[in-house]
Structure 1
Amino acid sequence: MARERGGSPRTHAATSSGGPISLTGRGGIVVMFGVGVVCGLLSHWFGVSLLAGAGFAIGCALAAFATRPADLLTLVVSPPLVFFGATFTVVVVTTIGDGSLLRGVTVGVLTALASTAPWLFFGTALVVVVCLARGLRTNVRDLREKLAGFRLFEKEENENPVRWDESPASHEPRRLHHGDVD
C-alpha cells in the first residue's frame, strides 16, 4: 500500500484548486514597484503622463487586494517609499545616455515627483481603505498588544535598579583601579 506524500487529500485539493492569489507583504510591495516601473516607462515612451500615476494606483489596488491579511500592516506603510523607488528607477533608466546623469536624474526625479504627487496620495489612501476593509484593525490591535506586553516587561525589569540579593563586599582589601589613588 503506497502512502500519498504532500499531506492530506483535503490539503492537496485546496492548494491545487487554483484559489485566490495570496501575497506576502514583500510580494505586495514588489507588485506595487513592478507595476509602477512598467507604467512609468510606458508613460515616458508614449508621452502619456497620466499613465505613470494611474499605473501606480492600479498597482496599489492590486497589492492591497492580493496581500494576505497578516501582512497588511507592512503593505500600508510602504507606498511612499515604493513610489519614490519606482520613480527614481524610471528616471535613471530613461536618463542614461542623455548627457549628465546626475543633473538629468536630479531634475527628472524632482519633476516626476512634483507632477505625480497627487497619484501618490491617491494610491496611499486606496491601500489604506482597502486594507482597513480587509482587517488592518486586527493587525494594529495585535501590534499594540505586543508592544504593551514588551513595555510591561521592560518596566518590571528596570523598576528597581538596586539589587538587594547581592551581598556587600567581603572583608578582602579592595583592589584599586589604576586611576584610583590611595
Structure 2
Amino acid sequence: MTVLAGAGRCDPSLVEAARRGDAEALVSLIGAAQPDVRRYAARNCRAADIDDAVQETLLLLYRRVGTLRAVSSFSAWLFAVARRACLRLLRRATGTFQTPADEAEARLALLAPEDIRIDLSRAIQSLPEHYREVILLRDIEELSIDEIADVLGLTRESVKARIHRARLMIREYLIRD
C-alpha cells in the first residue's frame, strides 16, 4: 500500500483497506494524510488553531473512515472535515454565535455511530414515500441519477430535486430537538 507522491491523494487501495477496518492501513492512511491536512490547516486556520484542527481532522478520520461511501471521495471528504474544524475553532475563539444547526451538528458529532444510524434510519422512515424512494436508491443502493430516473420513470431534474428536498428534510429531522 503506497501513497501517491505529489498528488495529495492516498492510494485508493489504502483507503479501501482502512475503510474495511484494516488497522495497519488506517495507521498508514493517517500518516499519509497528516501532511496534507497540516498544509490545508496552515492556509485556512488561525496560527493558534493549526495543531488542534489537524488533530480534530485526523481523529474524525480515525473514527469515521469506515462510513465513507466512495473511496474516490476521500480527499474531498477529508478537506471538508478540516475546513469545518477550522471554522469551529475560529467560532470558539471569537465567541461567534452558534446557530441551532451548528449546535445540532456538534451534538450529532458526539453521538455513537449506532445512535446516528438509528436516528438516520428514523429520519429516512419519516420521509414521504416519493422522497424516501429516491434517497434509498441514491444513498443506499448507490444508483446514479440517470439510473434512478429510468427506474422511477422520472426526468433527471425531478430526481435531483427530490434528492435535494429529501436530504433537507432528513437534516431538519436530525437537528430538531
TM-score, normalised relative to structure 2: 0.25
Larger Rg: 1
Q: Tell me: higher relative CO, structure 1 or 2? Use CA pairs within 8 A at least 6 residues apart.
A: 1
